[in-house]
Amino acid sequence: MSTSHPQPVVAAVDGSDDSRRALEWALAEAARRGADLRVVHVRQYAPFLQPAVLVAGPLEGGATDDDPVIGDVRKELEGREGLPALEFITRDGLPAAVLPEMSTEAQLLVLGSRGRGGFASLLLGSNGVAAARDAACPVVVVPPPGREVHGDTPLPTGPRVVVGLQSDDPDETTLRFAFEHAARTGARLQVVAAYPWPVLAFGAFGDFTPAPVTDQDTVERATLDVAGAAVDFLRKAHPGVEVDLWAAPGDAAGHLVANSRDAELVVVGRHRRRLTRPAPMLGSVTQAVLLHAASPVAVVPPASA
């Protein structure tokens, strides 16, 4: 009985330092997943509108290639041991359109925060936004080193994956991605659930007034109960993953960014399509985490995307 070959991991490169860091992250992840790595360079200004060029095969093949970006990557990787099977592709077009298109045949898309043509002052390039918003598969955006995040909450030591949980509508797809990554890497999983405080109710005169709740501890315990119930079946499926449930009042994005300090990965979901928003959307929390997190960020599309 034949088995289907797993879809590849795709790493987008453009010669920038950010894309080199993303490539290294993708190499390690493809090896962990037992998948091929497809290294892609999208040329925005193609000379003479050349058709797509595909260069595949082992590094030692000696094939000629008119793309210097791919050529440099091949030279950098030549002779390295323990690499996954590699495929090199050059495509002509707009990265913001080509990368989401290629994601339909990938299990993961990895790219850097800013590309070569971006403004140095931007925290996240337009291609990263478009890929995270439109891709059919999860997207990992690798930030530049040295991002500082602030927070005085003691964090667990050792490898750690952080995942955001929306307590009123937990997303199983996002949680599953986080559990599986933690299982592959041996990291502990920190489930972050924010809750509003003070809880506000809509008043008769159009204003907001404090809702009649017992106390903050009650709200926090209820939030932790919801989080525990949401991850219970995944904990059973991944018994080797140590899980910390973490609830805090206020802004979810702020808590996720603060907990990204020294984390292996922060995992967030993308908005589900609804009647009122049929197009893909990142959501304000996901955008803020992409802009400010100190660790790589995985954006997971909903199952219905």
CATH number at residue 109: 3.40.50.620
Cα(196)–Cα(216) distance, rounded to whole angstroms? 10
Supply the range of the domain harboring residue 268: 160-300
Shared domain check, 136 and 170: no
| pLDDT tens-digit readout, 134-158 | 999 999 999 988 788 877 777 778 8
Cα(134)–Cα(127) distance, rounded to whole angstroms? 10
Shared domain check, 275 and 198: yes
What average pLDDT values come out for the chain (305 residues) when binned by 10 residues?
A: 77 92 97 97 64 42 65 94 95 91 96 62 63 94 85 80 90 96 97 80 51 74 93 96 93 92 94 50 84 94 77
Give the Å distances, CA to CA, from 260 to 76, 243, 266, 295, 296: 30, 16, 6, 6, 9
| pLDDT tens-digit readout, 63-114 | 335 899 999 999 999 999 999 999 999 999 988 899 999 999 999 999 998 6
Which tokens in the block code for residue 297?
A: 């960020």
CATH of the domain at 190: 3.40.50.12370
pTM higher than the cut 0.75:
yes
Shared domain check, 16 and 127: yes
Q: Which residues pair with 210 in a beta bridge?
A: 200
